[in-house]
Structure 1
Amino acid sequence: MVDLFGIFASAVGPIVAIAGVGYALATLKDVDPEPLNTAVVYVFAPALVFHSLAVTELAAGTLARVAVGILVFTGVMLGISEFVGRATGEEEPVLSALLLVAVFCNSGNLGIPVSDFAFGDVGRQTAVLFLSVQAMLMYTVGVYIASRSGGSSGLAGVKRVFRLPLLYAVLGALLARALNVVPASDTAGMQVLQLVGDSSIPVMLLILGIQLARTDTGAAVSQAWKGTALKFGVAPVVGLGVALLLGFENPTVARVFVLETAMPAAVTPVILVVEFAADREAGGISVPEYVSTCVLVTTLLSIPVLTGVIAILQSGLVI
């Protein structure tokens, strides 16, 4: 039996609580989320990804296979989401926002604890790897898409990617592992990196809550169904197909990979659209309002969805 209350208490509950603090803060005070945005993009997130990728204990072959799987999954979901968006009449800036919602999963502040709860140490380590690779894509492909949503040219978006430190944090961590020069986890430098990186999760959730307090959710919810359908109806099926195609040697890694693809919409796209498309509107709502509402809706719906996915994966029926 899957313990629904246990999943909520250990993973979803804390997320709702921290985002609720941000919501309450923005309701009581006139809070500008942009300075917090900047801190996450340029300080907290790079530290989180560098530390996570540098200290993971998964084998090199597993690292490579998971990374390839995430690349394939992201490419397939981008194609499907773009097709569905255009086929249903979506135009910029909502089309690009839809891609951000449908493609990128909340593999960090939800994916890591849920994977740990469901599959133990291997689950946690696989989720951290998924977060690290997806973060690199988020701050490259995701920045390009957010830039497109904000009306910037593709070239301008690509140029901005190379000014973001997270890309270099990932490359630096991979190089340190390759040269076997990663400092011990108990050294002062690594402890500081872990502390700063861990700070990114509550700050990102505070930003989400602040943005939700500024959101006309009544108007935005009516437009969130496409992203929600893609996130829960299509993404896990694509994730399962990719996992079966790659043939992971460790079935637990394969199951966690599929579980990560079933996560709700990531919080980071809220950060990106506030950074790149804060002033763009469509249908009476802003791009940040649309993305924030999709994050809220998919996070709330993820409680029953993830419970079912975990039950199926733990049964061994599909992988």
Structure 2
Amino acid sequence: MELFIILKNIILPIFVIMAIGYFIQKKFHLNIATLAKLNIYFLVPGFIFAKLYSTTFSAGLFLNILLFFILYVVILYFISQFIGKLVGLEKGKKTTFTNSVMFFNSGNYGVPVNDLVFRGDPLGMSIQVIMLTLQNIFLFSYGIFSLQAVHTGKLKALLSYFKMPMLYAMLFGISLNMLNIAVPSFILIPANYIADAMISLALFTLGAQVATIRFTSGLGHVYYSLVLRLLVGPAIALAIIYTFRVEGIVAQSLFIASAMPTSVNSAVIAEEYNNHPEFAAQIVLFSTLFSAITVTVVIYLSRLLFG
């Protein structure tokens, strides 16, 4: 019964907005690149700054989340590399496969789930915002580098790390918060307006992105990615949480964040660098669909184990 309530009250509202984005994209053929840039360069940085500036948290909490994130993605990297080699994926496809497991949708899926689960609790949201920031910095630095390295080995992709607006939004938000520096209302009010708009437009964009996904090849190797991302990922997070004896809302937030489906941006960069884009798109589509079930179960377990 509780699983159904979670599905109805938390997961279904998310898919309703995604469905609106999906059908509007099918009818009007919106420019997905523009929607993506609107999220990356406008909504997400504003959201990150507003939330990190207004939330009370310690430097210790930030470092603990950073440690969790690093440990989590490193374990996922080695497991996905091993599985990719085991099933005989060639170098380029194995890179896309590994990225699909490591890069999860912390933004336009994870933030709305967190908001509904914790009903706007500042601590829960600040944890999700930090995870979102770290995930995006990781994706647009290592993620791009890994795909370029398949063909060219160029290191210039690492410079993209310093072009990430959410990196500076995080630094400013945390610094001004920790130093207790007052931000003028003519800056803070627009930032809060941007933050309020982020969730609905992010879900709309996700639905529109899903509507553009096309696939032509078989699903054989997609299933391995789905299992690793949606089942093994949360299991690894749970092991880390228990190992470091994390409790309460922090444990719940990290556990739920780890269960998100594959990031749409992993398919975007695969398309950009022409590295098995159809394979990446299939993984995004099916992991998003199946996550309705797996994320529901993880939310239920998080309440049972850490509530």
Normalised by the length of structure 1, the TM-score is 0.81
Displacement of 1:66:
1.6
Q: Which residue of 1 aligns with 2:59?
A: 60
CA contact (8 A) 1:143 1:272 kept: yes
What does residue range 218-237 of structure 1 map to in structure 2 within 5 Å? 219=217, 221-237=219-235
| Other-structure match for 1:98 | 97
Taking only aligned residues, the RMSD between alpha carbons, in angstroms, comes to: 3.0
Over 3 Å counting, the alpha-carbon distance change for 1:292 and 1:53 in structure 2 is: farther
Q: Is residue 288 of structure 2 the alignment partner of residue 299 of structure 1?
A: yes
Task: Show CA shifts across 1:216-245 (max 9, x none).
Answer: 346364542121011123111211122123
Question: Does the C-alpha gap of structure 1 residues 176 and 7 become closer, same or farther in structure 2, counting only changes over 3 Å?
Answer: same
Q: CA deviation at 1:142?
A: 3.1
Q: Is the 8 A contact 2:3 2:300 kept in 1?
A: no
- Is 1:155–2:155 an aligned residue pair? yes
**Residues 155, 181 of structure 1: CA spacing in aligned structure 2 closer, same or farther, 3 A cutoff?**
same
In structure 2, the CA distance between the partners of 1:220 and 1:11, relative to structure 1 (3 Å rule), is farther
Is this contact kept in 1: 2:148–2:154, CA < 8 A? yes
Change (3 A) 1:44 1:99: farther
Does residue 49 (structure 1) correspond to residue 38 (structure 2)? The answer is: no
Please list the CA deviations of residues 233-284 of structure 1 after superposition, one character each: whole Å capped at 9, or x if unmatched: 3111211122123222x4331132122112222334344445x33xx254xx
Question: Which structure 1 segments of 5+ residues have no match?
Answer: none
TM superposition shift of 1:153? 3.3
Cα deviation digits, residues 184-240 of structure 1 (max 9, x gap) = 7xx331231233344444444444434433333463645421210111231112111
Identity over aligned pairs, percent: 24
Equivalent-residue separation in structure 1 for 2:126 and 2:13 (angstroms): 20
Q: Distance in 2 between matches of 1:37 and 1:117?
A: 23
Partner SS, residue 58 of structure 1? coil
Q: Identify the residue that residue 170 of structure 1 maps to in structure 2.
A: 170
Which 4+ runs in 1 deviate beyond 6 A?
A: none
Aligned to 2:251: 254
> How far apart, CA to CA, are the structure 1 residues paired with 2:225 and 2:70?
20
Q: How many residues align?
A: 305
Aligned 8 A contact 1:37 1:271 in 2: no
Matched residue, 1:181: 181
CA separation of 1:157 and 1:243: change in aligned 2, threshold 3 A: same
Is there any run of 5+ residues in structure 2 with no aligned partner, and where? Answer: none
Cα gap change, 1:34 to 1:112, in 2 (>3 Å): closer
Q: Which moved more, 1:140-149 or 1:95-104?
A: 140-149
Give the whole-Å Cα distance in 2 for the aligned partners of 1:25 and 1:152: 38
When you count helix as a share of all residues, which structure comes out higher? Answer: 2
- Normalising by structure 2, we get a TM-score of 0.83
